Chains A and B, each alone.
Chain A
Amino acid sequence: MTQIAAPSALKPELPGTDPSEPRPEPATLQTVPGRPDRGGRERSPAQGQAGRTRRWLRRPGLLLSALFLLLVLTAAFAPGVLAPGDPYTGDSSQALQPPGTAHWFGTDHLGRDLYTRVVHGTSLSLRTALIAVVIALISGGIFGVAAGFLGGWIDQAIMRVVDVLLAIPSLLLSLALISALGFGSTNVAIAVALGSVATFARIARSQSLRVCQSTFVEASRSLGSRWHTTLRRHVLPNAAGPILALAVLEFGMAILAVSALSFLGYGAPRPAPEWGSLVSEGRNYMAAAGWLTTLPGLVIAATVLSINRLAHALGGERRRF
């Protein structure tokens, strides 16, 4: 599932390097401050404000995703604001209450408020996913850029390992690793990271290859710049865009993978309210209290979808500069 990369993120596109679109040469050699950019995006601040609002309103899906993610982030950093109750203690007389005004998401078999548990579980799930993405981004990025920049047998060696990683389903890979590492949310993060290292390495390699072949990198080398300067100043900044867009996308995937592993019981030990384990706890009451699985599941789905939507927007924005 980690192989679904944003198509927009894969398309290399360098603005302003298209020789077929030369700009008109002004007769006098002044720079051209007043001329709108090719897409006409040079505006006054007031216009920019109005334009921005209009652009958001024209994309309600993106607006909704952003608002939902804002809510999720609040839940992650200040869960008390959204759900002041205690996620661990419950009133057994209130067990298995359906969703209502008293309990928005209903209660579980111990009478704990499910909404409170989902909110308090957010930081746990997101943190694990974040660690996973950061590990994958850094290690995959290093391998990919090394492969693309150095080329030759190093490229061959790294990419063959990546091929092997891509050949194994990532969840299976994570499961195998986690049985070796042991349980716990950090280990889940490492296991999930291993599943998406290959994707990052591939994108990082293709991007750095693209940038390395561009004339300005050759120019930088021929000016006498050292290789690490060229790498730091030219290759990395120009390759970063699509890689970062992928990282956002992968973050959604990582939430899904982390939830899957904690559903299977490999995550933080109970009673920690990790999203995946909430779904798994509710599974035993499927017939009597369907909301116990449905609602946390929906929260996971909504989060992942919102992140995907955002990743696509970022990819698009990147392309347009």
Chain B
Amino acid sequence: MTEQLNPSTSRPLLEVRGLCSEYLTAAGSIPALRGADLNISAGEKVALVGESGSGKSTLSHALIGLLPENARLTDGTIRYGGEDITRWSDRQFRSLRGARIGLIPQDPTVSLNPVRTIGHQVMEAIRAHRRMSKAAARQQAQQLLDQAGIDRPAVRLRQYPHQLSGGMRQRVLIAIAIAGDPDLLIADEPTSALDATVQRRILDHLDDLAAARGTAVLLVTHDLGVAADRADRILVMSGGQIVESGTAAEVLASPQDAYTRQLVASAPGLTEPAWAPAPLPEEPEVLLRAEGLCRSFTLPARRGEPRQSVRAVDGVSFSLARGETLALVGESGSGKSTTAKLALGLEKPDAGTLLFDGQDITALRRGEWRQLRRRAQLIYQNPYASLDPRFSIEQIITEPLDAFAVGTTAQRRDTAAHLLDRVALPSHALGRKPVELSGGQRQRVAIARALALAPDLVVCDEPVSALDVSVQAQVLELLAELQRDQGLTYLFITHDLAVVRHLAHRVAVMRAGRIVEEGPTAALFEHPQHSYTQELLGAISGRQAPLHIAEVTA
């Protein structure tokens, strides 16, 4: 199985030539792949980069015969290990999947069966291709979990998916993927649902594992930074075709295709953006001051144990000047989202005080709380969930105006059109429904809604983490521009330091409910004091890239 030790002299392990596919829908057929070519040698690490809709998932699924019902291959060939597998039946593909090609699926939260133990699922993968007693399979499952970097594998085998964290579940999926000892691993956005630090640890581990076993890896990702860190070769995909291919250094240093150039320009870890954060006002005036905020939550009672509570926010203090951006950075569970809710008055603190523009907003009555809403607004993480699917874009944007009965209907309509223009969307989008817009466009609508009441403070709760990297850059640029023009104050919540590098004036790093380090962005990036900040910085994708764009252009 592993006789092809020297990749340069042997035939490619996987060879895709001019692959075309289309999706059949009621409206006709929509092409997904238009002549994609792909070569992977044994033991090679190849990254397939592209935005959602570029056909990268279709390509990776075609390799293992897992295309959806309404998709079909129209042209081209796929050869794996010398065999033509293009027209294989499902039965034939079954002998390939798991045993010779392993797949690490995208979303660890939904890719495991919630009613089966981890052990059952790993053993199922082992026994699918080899006859083996249960005891032997259990033994091997334990080894696999251990190799995938899971602590106490014997205990984990008896646990259910919901008892593990997201990163842990992704490791289980890796263990399942390597169970059949395949020659090729397809990793389909394996970490995009995870925190930056966890993402890094898992990708590191995957690298080591693949290197140790001599497995080839096809890493499918939308993040050029991740690809540059991890892969020997990068293939950039756009519109169903491979538009660029080369070593990581080549692609980053001299991108040939226009689309690749755009991707390189928008990867936050790789390049300096063309815009800068708004300059701070000369005499900063404090808009929001938090002192010693605490908030605990009681956990659901477990049998035989006393009720426990967890301190989500534990003595957090910060101050935010008008026109400034403060980034709160930390991983999930660090209390950053709770802090944001406290700052907006959406949650009541157990202790501590909050001053908004000099006014104590710690304990507001209902009417006052509603008035505060006119001055402090929130942008949610997921634009796919934060907009009512039944509303038109106009209704969404005018909702806050309706809530406070600002102006006449005609005036509200004008305001909505104006706001839409501010967020660079065409005015004919007013009559559309959220479903008709892309993720980035929806987030722009959400931003327009937050700005409708001309607030002083806008709290952004991971506003770009649900978006593609290139779209992230556009939305961040928009936020910076709005700040410059309107003197907005941002409290920016994120798990990824790369995102705030060029937007935030100051960064506060949170861990376990406390702020562990705070300082001006540049200083924090140059001289991180706390070990956790250093870890976060190390997790920025693109940092391990063979060379930085800045060095290339210099």
Q: Mark A residues whose CB is within 8 Å of B.
A: 14-20, 22-27, 29-32, 36-43, 51, 214-216, 218-220, 222-226, 229, 233-234, 237-238
Contacts and interface: CB of A to CB of B under 8 A. Distances in A.
Contacts of A40: 25-28, 30
Given A25-B468, A31-B432, A215 B390 contact: no
Contact of A22 (B26, B30, B390, B439): B439
Given A25-B439, A224-B374, A18 B26 contact: no
Interface stretch (B38-46, B293-301, B322-330, B381-389): B381-389
B364 to A, nearest CB: 13
Contacts of B468: 22, 25
B304 interface: no
B439 A226 contact: no
A41 B370 contact: no
Greatest chain B CB density within 10 A among A20, A37, A218, A224 is at A224
Given A215-B380, A222-B378, A16 B388 contact: no
B437 A216 contact: no
Interface of B: 25-28, 30, 51-54, 106-107, 262, 344, 346, 370, 373-374, 377-378, 380, 382, 384-390, 399-400, 402-404, 424-426, 428-429, 432-441, 444, 446, 449, 453, 466-468, 470-471, 474
Contact of B51 (A25, A31, A223): A25
**Chain A interface main SS type:** loop
A17 to B, nearest CB: 5
A226 B466 CA distance: 29
Contact of B25 (A14, A39, A215, A225): A39
Given A31-B432, A214-B385, A216-B386, A26 B438 contact: yes
B403 A223 contact: yes
A16 B388 CA distance: 10
B384 A223 contact: no
A30 B387 contact: no
B438 to A, nearest CB: 4
B438 A23 contact: yes
9 smallest CB-CB distances across A and B, nearest first, come from A24-B53, A224-B373, A40-B25, A40-B27, A16-B435, A215-B385, A36-B27, A225-B403, A23-B438
A30 to B, nearest CB: 6
A310 B115 CA distance: 35
B384 A24 contact: no
A40 B30 CA distance: 10
Contacts of A24: 51-54, 438
Contact of A216 (B385, B402, B426): B385
Given A31-B429, A40-B25, A224-B403, A16 B384 contact: yes
Given A23-B437, A25-B439, A41-B27, 15 more contacts: A15-B435, A17-B384, A22-B438, A23-B52, A24-B51, A25-B440, A31-B425, A32-B437, A32-B438, A40-B26, A215-B385, A222-B373, A223-B403, A224-B374, A224-B404
Given A29-B424, A224-B403, A219 B439 contact: no
B434 A16 contact: yes
20 contacts: A14-B389, A19-B385, A20-B107, A22-B468, A23-B52, A23-B53, A24-B54, A24-B438, A25-B52, A25-B439, A29-B424, A29-B474, A31-B441, A39-B25, A40-B28, A40-B30, A216-B386, A219-B387, A224-B453, A225-B399
A238 B400 contact: no
A15 B453 CA distance: 28
B133 to A, nearest CB: 38
A25 B346 contact: no
Given A215-B386, A223-B373, A224-B404, A32 B436 contact: yes
A19 B378 CA distance: 19
Contacts of B390: 237-238
Nearest to A235: B388
A276 B385 CA distance: 49
Contacts of B346: 222
A233 B424 CA distance: 27
Nearest to B377: A223
Given A29-B441, A224-B373, A229-B403, A219 B380 contact: yes
Contacts of A22: 52, 384, 438-439, 466-468
Nearest to B452: A223
Contacts of B25: 36, 39-40
Given A23-B439, A40-B27, A219-B380, A229 B434 contact: no
Nearest to B404: A224
Contacts of A23: 52-53, 437-439
A214 B387 CA distance: 10
Contacts of B384: 16-19, 22
Contact of A229 (B389, B402, B437): B402
A220 B453 CA distance: 13
Contacts of B389: 14-17, 216, 238
A25 B470 CA distance: 9
B112 to A, nearest CB: 15
A77 to B, nearest CB: 32
A164 B426 CA distance: 55
Nearest to B399: A223
A27 B404 CA distance: 36
Contacts of B53: 23-25
B26 A51 contact: yes
Nearest to A37: B435
B44 to A, nearest CB: 28
B221 to A, nearest CB: 14
A16 B52 CA distance: 15
A238 B388 contact: yes
A39 B68 CA distance: 13
A39 B52 CA distance: 17
Contacts of A234: 388
B382 A215 contact: yes
Greatest chain A CB density within 10 A among B370, B402, B404, B438 is at B438
A218 B388 CA distance: 11
Contacts of B344: 222
Contacts of B107: 20
A29 B425 contact: yes
A19 B189 CA distance: 14
Contacts of A215: 380, 382, 385-386
